[in-house]
Structure 1
């Protein structure tokens, strides 16, 4: 059966031409099964953690009620252990003695084209939030299997059009949106005018400035969807009198390679950042508001370095916390009096240990902070994690279902009951998911980044 005729809910797939742009030649259908088995063997030999996750799961079901995609869809294939089984069954069939001789006894099966299509559907419904690992009595992280499955599908040429488009835009322009340098500079100039009008202070956003102490890596979404986040960061650096710059060659804190192609795309993006820091003579890299991007920068990039010298890499929120605790910032809480609740991004909470930092910064910047529950590393995903941001109608419907648990959490805080609340989302992917989510679920809140609130507290609007 051709891969396009099974009726599964799937994101729009990248064409062969799209895949060639990111250096992948799609495998023909009649060769996909053989190629997939070969790639699975390669992944198994390289990643012991993947093998442990395959072998140790007892299918106890503890992960089910802790997975927001299952809670939102009630689709059994979205139970993390069942989703992982799509690949586990194949692994058992080809790479264990029991599976080779007694496949039916252990639930192993031969790989077919239909199985690959099912993997494409459900591995791209997983948000890779890793909350299931907290519920697992063995601490198994089924995200390992999702990530391995997406990598395998990438090698076969099965990638959503969104991810392939972002990969090509990043390769071409150094940002996910494909914004060229003239557009970036024009946007920065516009934001500078906005800050002058708002605060009465001339605040600059320097770009490609040689011999800067700090290279700031924003999310490219900050130039289109989240301008207040870019302005908040600029206000922070200006307040400190920092010698900083951003780069027109790499204006992207996010790294979609982590989400579909760790071997090539993720590494290439990371090396581009280091190259720019060295070229501009920067002494430190400060990472902007992106959860999966910071997970890449904190946990993967240092181990990839093949350039001379070591440049410290820190997150913007940790920088703000440092200067708060040093007593170097005067923050006016009365500039942020609206009720605010905080969404803990999955990669900040379950991967990068930023939960305390977020609260130090939040409590110093706003006067009416309301916790949602559960919170910190136990918080639920926004439903857009790992770039599940599909706009085609069928997948958009799923995307909103994935956010149902988050909407329930926000509603229970009560911050939106008068229609003037703020949902703080200190991650660009979370913001992109939450903008439509708060409208669809009628939550009565406005989505803002954490550095947005810091900027308002440092330079309160003069017309307020």
Structure 2
């Protein structure tokens, strides 16, 4: 199925990659029929989808609250218009007015060209849910685009980036295909770096039996966020935690949540519980990944093949608890630069962690400056739902999506002297913000929250 000229689309997974994900591509002459069957199935199963299809009055409140529209000014990136790409089809086949009056009722026949529009625009939605906050009816366009992505997956239309992450997770338990020897070598190197830079001797135990805590980092921490891993290790050492990192699942994120919610999550969930069982842990602590934490918090109990016997908490919940109870001695002057906080969408809009992040932030930096708006009203970084495409056309869209975030950072003044810090306590946000800072020429360095806490710790 060739791409439609004029549409910006992510590079697609090939047939071999789809086969690795147990996805059988649907032939072009069957795509419309199969898509309608799945759409019918979805409307019968999800009331939230039907609500989104039938309740929108096109008031336009979502337009100026969507960073993808603000960055691109593409009318199809207005959340209600993006939802209309599937709403028109819903009306045509599943409502009386659409069946009888067609275009007069805002209905449209499904075609291969429309499916191509789905593939383009449903992967330009960051699934940030800010439109749901702005909507007077609470319509969540994210529910629509998630369902659209799921139908596209069943048709065999999956971005190569997302498919690659899903394949790697199935094989190794992380997005980048790290095996145990590479994991151990990296952690050994980081232990040496921590000693050299901070004067703190830390350990990164891997598969250590009888540990109390199973720590699940993001695989990106092994490659591009080393200070996040070092910060976590210093925190665990400071509180005297008996922890370990499991080699079979070193990924806080879950790409299955982003394109095929029914299939690819389950494997890593069961890896996680297998590691917890074998290592005899008492608690599972999640690392810095917003969408990964939302997936873990909301889906592990329902996706697991066995009962979940362990409490699962987030590293930021842990650090804020120790800050609130006065068990950490912190010197904010160690982080003397001006710092602003990017609120990851899944933390603040889905998991209620806005104040949790700020409890730790205020305790470990000297000059904290809030963005406007902030907390649950904050704008997405532009990389949400792993829209981190590197192919030239989609990369430029990523940068456009980040325009609003760049404006927010500049408004705080933290970039004025070239030494400010943009704190992004989520691995996907970091992956988006590193190039954003460069492309928008912002004078800030991107850091994780646990990076700042690790540096601020005072050792007796």
Shorter-normalised TM-score: what interval?
over 0.9
Separation of aligned partners in 1, 2:229 and 2:185:
14
Partner residue of 1:160? 159
Looking at structure 2, the residues matched to 293 and 400 of structure 1 have their Cα atoms a distance apart, in angstroms, of 23
Alignment correspondent of 1:420: 419
- For 1:365-444, what aligned pairs fall within 5 Å after superposition? 365-444=364-443
Q: 2:269: which partner in 1?
A: 270
Does 2:321 match 1:322?
yes
Report the secondary structure of 1:430's partner residue.
helix
Partner of 2:86: 87
Alignment match, 2:58 = 59
2:236 match: 237
Deviation string for 1:44-81 (max 9, x for gaps)? 11111111111111111110000000000000000000
Q: Deviations over 1:340-373 (max 9, x none)?
A: 0000000011100000011000001111101110
Once the two structures are superposed, the pairs formed by residues 435-454 of structure 1 within 5 Å of their partners are 435-454=434-453
Check the 8 A contact 1:3/1:114 in 2, yes or no. no
State whether residues 4 and 113 of structure 2, in contact with CA within 8 Å, keep that contact through their aligned partners in structure 1: no
- Runs of 4+ off more than 4 Å: none
1:85–1:5 CA distance, 2 compared to 1 (3 A): closer
Q: Does 1:225 align with 2:221?
A: no
Structure 1 residue 298: Cα displacement = 1.2
CA distance in 1, matches of 2:190, 2:87: 50
- Cα distance between partner residues in 1 of 2:139 and 2:261: 21
C-alpha displacement of 1:199: 2.5
Q: What secondary structure, in the 3-state scheme, does the structure 2 residue paired with 1:300 have?
A: helix
Deviations 1:402-448 (A, max 9, x none): 00000000000001100000000000000000001011111100000
Q: Is the CA contact (8 Å cut-off) linking 1:151 and 1:260 kept in structure 2?
A: yes
- Which residue in 2 is equivalent to 1:136? 135
Kindly state the Cα deviation for residue 459 of structure 1 after the two structures are TM-superposed: 5.3
Q: Which residue of 2 aligns with 1:282?
A: 281
Contact 2:335–2:456 at 8 Å: present in 1 too?
A: yes
TM-score when normalising by structure 2? 0.98
Q: What SS is found at the alignment partner of 1:423? A: strand
Quote the Cα distance in structure 2 between the aligned partners of 1:34 and 1:6: 23
Q: How many residues align?
A: 460
Q: What is the CA-CA distance between 1:302 and the residue it aligns to?
A: 2.4
2:446 aligns to what SS in structure 1? strand
The CA deviation string for residues 82-117 of structure 1, in whole angstroms up to 9 with x for no partner, is 000111111111112222222222111110000000
| Conserved? CA contact 2:198–2:455, under 8 Å | no
Q: After superposition, what is the alpha-carbon deviation per residue over 1:281-313, rounded to whole angstroms, capped at 9, x for unaligned? A: 111110000000001111222233431352101
Equivalent residue for 1:250?
249
Backbone CA RMSD of aligned residues: 1.2
Determine the C-alpha separation between the residues in 1 that align with 2:441 and 2:238. Answer: 37
Task: Report the CA distance between 1:5 and its aligned residue.
Answer: 4.3
Q: What are structure 1's unaligned runs of at least 5 residues? A: none
State which drifts further: 298-307 or 172-181. Answer: 298-307
Task: Find the residue that maps to 1:262 and give its secondary structure.
Answer: coil
Q: Which residue of 1 aligns with 2:306?
A: 307
1:212-267 Cα offsets, whole Å, 9 max, x none, are: 11100000000001000011011100111101001110000001111101001123
Q: Which stretch shifts more, 303-312 or 426-435? A: 303-312
Alignment of 1:24-173 (within 5 A): 24-173=23-172
